[in-house]
Amino acid sequence: MAWLDDVEEIERRRARALALGGAERVQRQHDAGRLTIRERIDALLDPGSFVEMGALAGEGDGEKFLPAGYVGGLGRIDGRDIVVGGEDFTVRGGSERDGRTKDRMILEIANEFKVPTVLLHDGAGGNIENTLRRGYMQIPTWSNDGLEVDLLATVPVVAGVMGSVAGGPATRAMLSHWSVMPKKSAQLFIAGPPVVKRAIGLDVTKDELGSSEMQVHASGAVDNEGEDEYDCFRQMREFLSYMPRNVWELPPHREPNDRPDRKEEALLSIVPKNRRQPYDMKSLIMMVVDDGIMFEIRPHHGRCLITALARLNGHVVGIMANNPMVNGGALDGPGADKQVHFMELCDQFRIPIVYFVDCPGFLVGPDAERSGALRRGMRAFWTTFSITVPLIQIIVRRCYGVGSVTSSRTDHLKLRIAWPSGEFGGIPIEGGVDAAFRRIIESAPDPVAKRVEIEERIGRLRSPLLAAEAFGVENIIDPRETRPLVIRLLEMAQQKRGYSLGIKSRPGVRP
Query: Tens of pLDDT along the chain (511 residues)?
Result: 678 877 777 787 787 877 777 888 889 999 999 999 999 999 999 999 999 988 777 676 666 677 778 899 999 999 999 999 999 888 877 666 544 577 888 899 999 999 999 999 998 766 666 666 667 676 666 666 778 889 999 999 999 999 999 988 899 999 999 999 999 999 999 988 888 888 999 999 999 999 999 999 999 999 999 999 999 999 999 999 999 999 999 999 999 999 999 999 999 999 999 888 999 999 999 999 999 999 999 999 999 999 999 999 999 999 999 999 999 999 999 999 999 999 999 999 999 999 999 998 888 889 999 999 889 989 998 998 889 898 999 999 988 877 777 777 765 655 788 999 988 875 565 555 566 667 776 677 877 666 666 666 656 556 677 776 667 677 899 999 999 999 999 888 777 666 678 888 776 777 7
Provide the CATH topology of domain 4-241.
Answer: 2-enoyl-CoA Hydratase; Chain A, domain 1 (3.90.226)
Are 110 and 144 in contact, with CB atoms under 8 Å apart? no
Q: Report the distance separating Cα 216 and Cα 212, nearest Å.
A: 5
Backbone φ and ψ for 135, nearest 5 degrees, come out as 90, 5
Residue closest to 245 by CA, chosen among 120, 85, 388, 76: 76
Are 145 and 165 in contact, with CB atoms under 8 Å apart? no
State the pairing for strand pair 51-53/70-77: antiparallel
Model pLDDT, residue 14: 80
State the pairing for strand pair 58-59/66-67: antiparallel
Please compute, for residue 293, the number of CA atoms within 13 A of its CA located in the half-sphere on the CB side.
Answer: 15
Check if 4-241 and 265-426+462-496 are the same fold. Answer: yes
Query: Starting at the edge strand that comes first in sequence, how are the strands of the sheet with 51-53 ordered?
Result: 51-53, 70-77, 80-87, 117-121, 157-161, 178-182, 224-226
How many C-beta atoms surround the C-beta of residue 71 within 10 A?
Answer: 30
Please compute, for residue 153, the number of CA atoms within 13 A of its CA located in the half-sphere on the CB side.
Answer: 10
Domains of the chain: which residue ranges? 4-241, 265-426+462-496
Q: Report the distance separating Cα 476 and Cα 466, nearest Å.
A: 11
Model pLDDT, residue 306: 98
Could you say which of 3.30.420.10, 3.40.50.2300, 3.40.190.10, 3.90.226.10 is the CATH number of the domain covering 265-426+462-496? 3.90.226.10
Calculate ∠ Cα 184-222-372, nearest 5°.
130
Are 497 and 349 in contact, with CB atoms under 8 Å apart? no
Sign of CA dihedral 224, 225, 229, 231: negative
> What would the DSSP string read from start to end of 298-364?
STTSSTTEEEEEEEETTEEEEEEEE-TTSGGG-B-HHHHHHHHHHHHHHHHTT--EEEEEEE-SB--
Q: Report the distance separating Cα 304 and Cα 282, nearest Å.
A: 12
Model pLDDT, residue 40: 97
Backbone φ and ψ for 119, nearest 5 degrees, come out as -115, 120
pTM: predicted TM-score of the whole model, two decimal places: 0.90
First to last CA, the chain: 69
